[in-house]
């Protein structure tokens, strides 16, 4: 019974094989196997890992209207995006089932239920039985992300039981959206997953803030991306490299406990698997003095309404 309160988690701080869906999936599979062999019961990957974050946007004048170069890079990105309905994640699902390991995986999704052409930054939860239990499409892309990603919906605002824990997650800056966080708190979340393209400056403050606000464990996982990580077959690579810094994403994966104190401080410039064991009992201890949707809330005064309907442009009856 006591062991049900303990969860061994792996934070996969890795670089993608940028804009290469199949090779990045293979790299993710190796991390999953590694985590399982080391006894992890859950593994988390960074935002949009498969096939990678759209780094070209900020360094190639991506807002240029009707620009052929931008069209070609975007099309290449779209061709390498994940189509869940086509079974792109089946091998990862099979590994989850084989090794009884839960997975939070950041992908760039090209979903059929939105016509099959637009892209979404999606956080997928795969259960220990290999089932995709939720696919949360980022509610609001940030800054230049809006030039390639579409805004998501509330369908993926879901939580999932994992031993004694209740896990939920958000993508990058939507973690700054207080109502999105509250929606997950209201579902009983006590293990909050935040995924990022990769930077200590993104994770070093918000991770502890959310932990303290929610009295939950918060796991932040970032990817890595260096100038040397761009594959030789990247479209318009010369243009990208001309204005590219040596390091675009330095990591910053970390864990904060329900009291807001570090369990694992942000780790920078290190590729690999970071492992920690967390204890659910710490959640109950810290909820004694504060619970944002329980005893320290006033639903008679303040309530949140959430629309979790999957949005579509066409409905057939």
- Residue range(s) defining the domain that contains residue 205: 2-287
In a domain, 251, yes or no: yes
pLDDT the model gives residue 179: 98
Residue 181, pLDDT > 70, answer yes
Mean pLDDT of 273-293: 97
Mean pLDDT of 164-186: 98
- In three-state secondary structure terms, 156 is helix
In a domain, 306, yes or no: no
The model's confidence at residue 213, banded by pLDDT at 50, 70 and 90, is very high
The model's confidence at residue 1, banded by pLDDT at 50, 70 and 90, is very low
The model's confidence at residue 2, banded by pLDDT at 50, 70 and 90, is low
Share of the chain above pLDDT 90, in %: 97
pLDDT the model gives residue 242: 94
Residue 271, pLDDT > 70, answer yes
In a domain, 199, yes or no: yes
C-alpha distance from residue 48 to each of 124, 195, 223, 288, 316 (Å) = 10, 9, 9, 36, 31
In a domain, 311, yes or no: no
58-108: pLDDT as tens digits:
999 999 999 999 999 999 999 999 999 999 999 999 999 999 999 999 999
In a domain, 281, yes or no: yes
**Domain count of the chain?**
1
pLDDT the model gives residue 315: 87
In a domain, 295, yes or no: no
CATH number of domain containing 40: 3.60.110.10
In a domain, 300, yes or no: no
User: What percent of the residues of the chain are helix, what percent strand, and what percent coil, each to the nearest 5?
Assistant: 35, 25, 40
pLDDT the model gives residue 14: 98
Alpha carbon distance 271, 223 (integer Å): 9
219-258: pLDDT as tens digits:
999 999 999 999 999 999 999 999 899 999 999 999 999 9
- State CA 222 to chain mean position distance: 8
pLDDT the model gives residue 8: 98
C-alpha distance from residue 138 to each of 63, 146, 151, 308 (Å) = 21, 11, 6, 13
In a domain, 257, yes or no: yes
The model's confidence at residue 48, banded by pLDDT at 50, 70 and 90, is very high
- On average, the pLDDT of the chain sits at 97
């Amino acid at each position: 019974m006591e062991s049900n309160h303990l969860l061994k988690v792996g934070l996969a701080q890795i670089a993608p094989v940028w804009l290469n869906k199949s090779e990045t999936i293979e790299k993710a599979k190796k991390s999953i196997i590694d985590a399982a062999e080391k006894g992890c019961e859950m593994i988390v990957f960074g935002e949009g890992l498969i096939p990678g974050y759209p780094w070209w946007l900020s360094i190639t004048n991506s807002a240029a209207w009707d620009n052929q170069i931008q069209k070609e890079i975007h099309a290449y990105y779209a061709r390498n995006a994940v189509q869940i309905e086509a079974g792109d994640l089946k091998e990862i699902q099979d590994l989850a089932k084989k090794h009884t390991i839960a997975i939070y995986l950041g992908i760039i999704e090209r979903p059929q239920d939105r016509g099959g052409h637009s892209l979404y930054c999606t956080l997928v939860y795969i259960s220990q039985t290999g089932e995709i239990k939720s696919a949360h499409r980022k509610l609001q892309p940030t800054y230049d992300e809006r030039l390639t990603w579409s805004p998501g919906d509330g369908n993926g605002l879901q939580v999932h039981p994992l031993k004694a824990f209740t896990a939920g997650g958000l993508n990058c800056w939507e973690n700054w959206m207080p109502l999105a966080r509250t929606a997950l708190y209201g579902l009983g979340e006590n293990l909050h997953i935040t995924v990022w393209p990769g930077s200590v400056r993104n994770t070093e403050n918000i991770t502890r803030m959310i932990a303290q606000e929610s009295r939950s464990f918060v796991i932040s996982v970032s990817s890595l991306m260096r100038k040397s990580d761009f594959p030789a077959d990247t479209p318009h690579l010369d243009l990208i490299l001309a204005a590219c810094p040596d390091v675009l994403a330095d990591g910053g994966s970390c864990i904060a406990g329900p009291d807001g104190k570090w369990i694992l401080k942000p780790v920078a410039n290190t590729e690999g698997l970071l492992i920690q064991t967390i204890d659910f009992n710490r959640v109950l201890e810290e909820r004694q003095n504060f619970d944002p949707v329980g005893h320290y809330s006033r639903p008679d005064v303040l309530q949140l309404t959430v629309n979790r309907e999957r949005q579509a442009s066409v409905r057939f009856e």
